[in-house]
């Protein structure tokens, strides 16, 4: 069954596009005002120059500003150096909104969004631009103009770099908080696991002691069953009492170890008689299913029955998740010594075949009862899981 990658929610897509839309709107606004400043003209337009050539440079700088967040250094260099290059080639108008404002935005963007040394390279690029205009653009050589330009560049660079530093520290603080929370959760889980391991050892000791006592009492009673019936009755009473105490203790400890939130924690464990429901679930998931039973089905030991059910369940889960199959066949074959399980699909081969947790779990379950699990492709296309478990006796 193939999976389809879901697109992010509409709101997330809009939020992701919002910075880009803002950058485009900012660039368009600055460019329109700069062109109006030149062609209307505004009083802020200074010097003499070519209006068409100044228009081209204004448009180039505005286009570069649309990438100020994605590519801060290249965009900033284009904005800062396009005007000095243009001044070196031909006379240009000196504009406040069309030149100085885009340059200030570029300096801020490199300090705010640049990585590594980009903020400092941006500061150097801005300083080189100001040095050029201070030396070679006569209308900007007034001391008041020089102080104003350098002061604004210093302020916007410092503001951008301060925001960048604040954001970085906020991310680091968040990461440290998450790491601390994860470490605390892992420590708590480790303590729980240690305590459960200790309880399991205690349960083992309790059961082992109780079983040993029952074995000794049963052996002693067997030796004097004819000669001393009273002793046999006392031994049987002791066996019954010891077994009841051990069973009660086991239930108490197991109840404490169970996860109260686990679905079906107190329900009876399933067996092979529940396999038809697994097949029906696979059919409802869109697979064409077939279920066959070979031989006479009979009760199995509880552990073997559960292991067989889990193997079928995991195999069908792998078919739905990984195999991209359309058909699956489940076969249970019984004979006097063993029960054989075979789950076959017509897909491209299970992703679990390389040794994933599902296949490892099947093998561990089978090995626990002296069985085995084999898995592999069929003629390079389908996939088959074949398990053999000893039938034993259910009594």
Q: What is the pLDDT of residues 299-322, one digit of tens each?
A: 888 888 888 998 999 888 888 777
Rounded to whole angstroms, the Cα distance separating 291 from 344 reads 11
- Digit-by-digit pLDDT tens for the chain (395 residues) are 344 444 456 666 767 788 889 999 999 999 999 999 999 999 999 988 889 999 999 999 999 999 999 999 999 999 999 999 998 888 899 999 999 999 999 999 999 999 999 999 999 999 999 999 999 888 888 999 999 999 999 999 999 999 999 998 998 888 888 888 888 888 888 877 777 777 667 666 667 767 777 777 777 777 777 778 888 788 788 777 777 777 776 776 666 666 545 555 445 678 899 899 888 888 877 788 999 999 888 888 888 888 899 899 988 888 877 767 888 999 999 988 899 999 998 877 654 444 456 788 888 888 888 899 998 887 667 889 999 999 866 54
Q: What is the pLDDT of residues 27-60, one digit of tens each?
A: 999 999 999 999 999 999 998 888 999 999 999 9
Put simply, whether the predicted model's pTM sits higher than 0.85 gets the answer no
The dihedral over CA atoms of 43, 46, 51, 54, expressed in degrees to the nearest 10, equals -110
- 272-390 topology per CATH: Heat Shock Protein 90 (3.30.565)
Radius of gyration of the chain (CA): 40
């Amino acid at each position: 069954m193939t999976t389809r990658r879901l697109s992010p929610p509409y709101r997330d897509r809009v939020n992701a596009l919002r910075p880009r839309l803002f950058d485009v709107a900012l660039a368009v606004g600055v460019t329109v005002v700069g062109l109006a400043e030149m062609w209307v003209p505004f009083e802020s337009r200074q010097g003499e120059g070519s209006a068409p050539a100044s228009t081209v440079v204004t448009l180039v700088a505005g286009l570069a500003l649309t990438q100020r967040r994605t590519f801060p250094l290249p965009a900033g260099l284009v904005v800062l150096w396009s005007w000095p290059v243009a001044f070196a080639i031909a006379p240009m108008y000196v504009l406040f909104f069309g030149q100085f404002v885009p340059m200030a935005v570029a300096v801020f963007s490199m300090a705010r969004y640049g990585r590594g040394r980009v903020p400092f390279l941006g500061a150097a690029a801005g300083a080189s631009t100001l040095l050029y205009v201070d030396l070679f653009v006569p209308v900007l050589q007034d001391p008041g103009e020089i102080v104003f330009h350098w002061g604004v560049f210093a302020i916007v660079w410092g503001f951008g770099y301060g925001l960048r530093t604040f954001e970085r520290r906020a991310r680091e603080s968040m990461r440290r908080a998450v790491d601390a929370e994860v470490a605390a959760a892992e420590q708590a889980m480790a303590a729980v696991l240690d305590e459960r391991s200790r309880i399991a050892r205690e349960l083992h000791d309790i059961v082992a002691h109780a079983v040993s006592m029952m074995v000794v009492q049963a052996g002693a009673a067997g030796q004097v069953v004819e000669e001393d019936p009273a002793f046999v009755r006392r031994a049987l009473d002791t066996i019954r009492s010891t077994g009841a105490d051990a069973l009660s203790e086991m239930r108490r400890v197991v109840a404490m170890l169970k996860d109260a939130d686990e679905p079906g924690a107190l329900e009876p464990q399933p067996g092979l008689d529940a396999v038809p429901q697994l097949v029906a679930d696979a059919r409802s998931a869109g697979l064409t299913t077939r279920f066959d039973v070979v031989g006479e089905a009979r009760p199995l030991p509880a552990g073997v029955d559960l292991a067989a059910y889990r193997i079928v369940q995991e195999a069908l889960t792998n078919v739905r998740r990984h195999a991209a199959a359309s058909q699956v066949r489940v076969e249970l074959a019984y004979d006097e010594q063993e029960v054989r399980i075979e789950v076959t699909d017509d897909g491209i081969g299970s992703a679990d075949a390389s040794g994933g947790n599902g296949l490892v779990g099947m093998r561990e379950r089978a090995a626990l009862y002296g069985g085995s699990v084999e898995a592999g492709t069929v003629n390079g296309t389908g996939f088959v899981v074949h398990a053999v478990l000893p039938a034993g006796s259910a009594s």
